[in-house]
Copies of this chain bind each other. A is one copy, B any other.
Amino acid sequence: MKGIRQLAEHLDISIGTVSRALNGKADVNEETRKRVLAAAEEFGYVANQSGRSLRQGTTNVIGLMIESSKETVENSDNFFLGVTGGLQSVLSRHKLDLVMLPCPSDEDPYEYLKRMVARRVVDAMIISATQRIDKRIDLLVKAKIPFVALGRSSSGGGNFTWIDLDFEGVATCAVDRLVAKGHRRIAIAAPSGEINLGYIFVDAYRKALEKHGIAYDPKLVIRVKSSEQGGYQAGDELLRIEDKPTAIILIYELMAIGLYRRLVEAGIVPGRDLAVIGFREEPRAKFLQPTLTCFRMSLPDLGAALAETLLAGMPAYSETYRDGVRNRIWPLELVPAESDAFFLGSKT
């Protein structure tokens, strides 16, 4: 079975009727529709996507762009696969398929996206790893491709929708919690590079400190890679700070693993000698000892929210997702554990 023509010939009706029957259009005789569906099933006929796309001007495919830098590869691991399920749960309701578009590490993400957009392989895009200044956003705005960004950005002149994690909430909660336990020298491990969350996180940390009357000390902001290795390095730098901090807040989930390693080497026990608060709860980090205080979120729910927000911005679906409000700050919930359990007062 090749195409609709063969199927129509076999049924001895016109291809127009076959198409209408298959696409669930009204005004098709029930009897005819049944015959068509049965024959399609029998021969395994499914409309060629290129033909459909060309005619309809729409691919019914949504793209999730993924950076495949070495850093991403080593780390974001289950994050995207986790989000994927939630995305699909919403997209499948509209017969939209999700494809992940991994940007080759040797290709500029901007050029890659430009190419994908120009080729019209997808109807809409979800981009991640948003930068503070992100040309991709300007590109998508200009190309009038519906998209949603996972992460805020200064680019695009505000003419786009994003969902971002509640870094302010996390930073504030972490600082509040540590201060309540008697800490005043609180370090923070933030990502090097231009990723926007670094700025937001450090800002919120600073404000939270000020709220408690604690002076902001730039020496306590440790810039490292968002990886386990970065965590290890953060531990290293932490140990070198004079007037040693009594607590550290991590911005990236896997940093905890590297940090623990470095601390163990130095004979420092998290939750006894140093308070550690991790970022996102992560299957791997769950196995740390002592258990890590961190923040929980639902990746599938985030995926579903991304999909709804995206569809709200697509004319064909906006009706259904009126309240797929524009920008959203995605909350995380504290999961208290052992790594910051001690009170500083009772120890000093």
Contacts and interface: CB of A to CB of B under 8 A. Distances in A.
User: Is the contact region of chain A dominated by helix, strand, or loop, or is it mixed?
Assistant: helix
B88 A81 contact: no
Interface in A102-119: 102, 104-107, 114-116, 118-119
Given A119-B48, A283-B74, A85 B104 contact: yes
Interface in A251-276: 254, 257-258, 260-261, 264
A158 B81 CA distance: 31
A72 B68 contact: no
A13 to B, nearest CB: 21
Interface in A51-79: 51, 53-54, 59, 61, 66, 68, 72-78
Nearest to A142: B44
A54 B286 CA distance: 49
Given A104-B85, A104-B92, A228-B284, A120 B49 contact: yes
B261 A46 contact: no
Interface in A91-132: 92, 97-102, 104-107, 114-116, 118-121
A81 B72 contact: yes
A45 interface: yes
Contact of A287 (B75, B98, B261, B283): B261
Copies in the complex: 2
B81 A66 contact: yes
A317 B72 CA distance: 31
Interface in A176-192: none
Given A104-B88, A289-B261, A78 B74 contact: yes
Contact of A77 (B47, B77, B89): B77
Contact of A102 (B50, B53, B88, B287): B88
Given A44-B118, A120-B50, A73 B68 contact: no
Nearest to A45: B118
Contacts of A61: 121
Contact of A258 (B53, B84, B121, B287): B287
Contacts of A116: 97
A169 interface: no
A303 to B, nearest CB: 11
A77 B282 CA distance: 12
A82 interface: yes
A126 to B, nearest CB: 13
Contacts of A81: 66, 68, 72-73, 76-77, 102
A84 B119 CA distance: 21
A49 B284 CA distance: 41
A82 B89 contact: no
Contacts of A286: 228
A96 to B, nearest CB: 11
A84 B102 contact: yes
B104 A46 contact: no
The 5 A-B residue pairs whose C-beta atoms are closest, nearest first, are: A77-B77, A46-B118, A100-B100, A50-B53, A49-B119
Given A85-B105, A99-B101, 9 more contacts: A45-B118, A46-B118, A51-B54, A73-B84, A77-B78, A85-B104, A88-B102, A99-B100, A100-B101
